[in-house]
């Protein structure tokens, strides 16, 4: 009776409220493989995370591999967050923090390499290193090193419209043609198409436009972790020295830089020269591990 009265008048002490930390929602999908030091794989524009399958298969015996697929690609739902790439950069940093990943190494191809530079210039203290597979801090400056965002700005809408406006069939055909110029062997083109599926057209346009309008070159000097820039040299044969100089100019402020020109590869280096790619990648990963243990 006394207890009932206390409850009635609100005098009884309520059980303590247990607060649970809110689990953040990430807009990219993640698949995990293996165990060991963490590696984060980010695919390129319009690609699903499956493009990294051969690489992950070779590394999952020694490393814990986190394979991302970005929204709008590889069957992952598109998102409305704008600016899109800046939002995804921040999400990857939050993912590393939330899951307490200790000094992960980010391995990104093309657009994924661009994101790796962007994440590292903002948060390199929490990274073990980055590998940019034919991904640079500012894409328009590859062929014209003096190019700036101000010079590109008049073309911004044109870049967006060229990807967002064509009808779906024309867009898909354009994507297929692009892969043919970026991958040497037809079997590998089929592999990328199979594991990626048709990309979201608006997302593709948004990502490309934002990348063209974001110049990371002035910021890469902030990067403190080791960085490996891989260049695809096959399309530049006969002009390889000039192109190597162009790539290196973009990252001249990076203090712990490794660079390699894969002269028999088009854009998808990990598919065009898999043995050479894996040898270079595992060598870099081993050097980073040795260096970190020596601290």
Span 48-69, mean pLDDT?
A: 98
The yes-or-no verdict on residue 70 having pLDDT over 60 is: yes
User: pTM of the prediction?
Assistant: 0.91
Strand partners, 258: 228
The yes-or-no verdict on residue 73 having pLDDT over 80 is: yes
Strand partners, 33: 65
pLDDT band at 40 (very low <50, low <70, confident <90, very high): very high
pLDDT of 295 reads 61
102 in helix, strand or coil? coil
- Structural contact between residues 51 and 268, judged by C-beta atoms closer than 8 angstroms: yes
Cα–Cα distance measured from residue 128 to residue 285, given in angstroms and rounded to the nearest whole number = 9
Nearest to 205 by CA among 72, 27, 92, 29: 72
Task: For each of the domains in the chain, give its residue range(s) and CATH number, in order of start.
Answer: 24-293 (3.40.50.1820)
Cα–Cα distance measured from residue 156 to residue 236, given in angstroms and rounded to the nearest whole number = 26
Cα→Cα distances 47→2, 31, 262, 287, Å: 67, 15, 21, 29
């Amino acid at each position: 009776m006394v207890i009932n009265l206390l409850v009635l008048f609100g005098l009884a002490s309520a059980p303590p409220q247990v607060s649970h930390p809110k689990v953040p929602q990430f807009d990219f999908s993640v698949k995990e493989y293996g165990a060991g030091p963490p590696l984060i794989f980010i695919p390129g524009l319009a690609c699903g995370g499956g493009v990294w399958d051969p690489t992950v298969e070779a590394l999952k015996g020694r490393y814990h591999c986190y394979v991302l697929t970005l929204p709008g690609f590889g069957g992952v739902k598109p998102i409305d967050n704008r600016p899109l790439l800046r939002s995804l950069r921040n999400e990857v940093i939050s993912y590393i923090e939330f899951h307490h990943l200790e000094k992960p190494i980010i391995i990104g191809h093309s657009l994924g390499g661009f994101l790796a530079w962007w994440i590292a210039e903002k948060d390199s203290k929490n990274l073990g290193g980055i590998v940019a597979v034919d991904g640079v801090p500012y894409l328009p400056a590859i062929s014209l090193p003096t190019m700036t965002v101000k010079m590109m700005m008049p073309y911004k809408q044109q870049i967006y419209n060229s990807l967002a406006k064509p009808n779906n069939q024309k867009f898909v055909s354009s994507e297929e043609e692009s892969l043919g110029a970026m991958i040497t062997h037809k079997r590998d083109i089929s592999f990328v198409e199979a594991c990626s599926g048709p990309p979201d057209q608006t997302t593709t346009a948004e990502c490309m436009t934002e990348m063209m309008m974001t110049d990371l070159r002035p910021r890469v000097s902030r990067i403190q972790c080791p960085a490996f820039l891989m260049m695809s040299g096959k399309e530049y044969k006969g002009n390889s020295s000039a192109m190597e100089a162009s790539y290196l100019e973009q990252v001249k402020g990076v203090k712990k830089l490794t660079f390699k020109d894969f002269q028999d590869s088009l854009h998808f280096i990990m598919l065009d020269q898999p043995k050479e790619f894996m040898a270079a990648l595992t060598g870099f990963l081993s050097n980073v591990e040795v260096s970190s243990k020596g601290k």
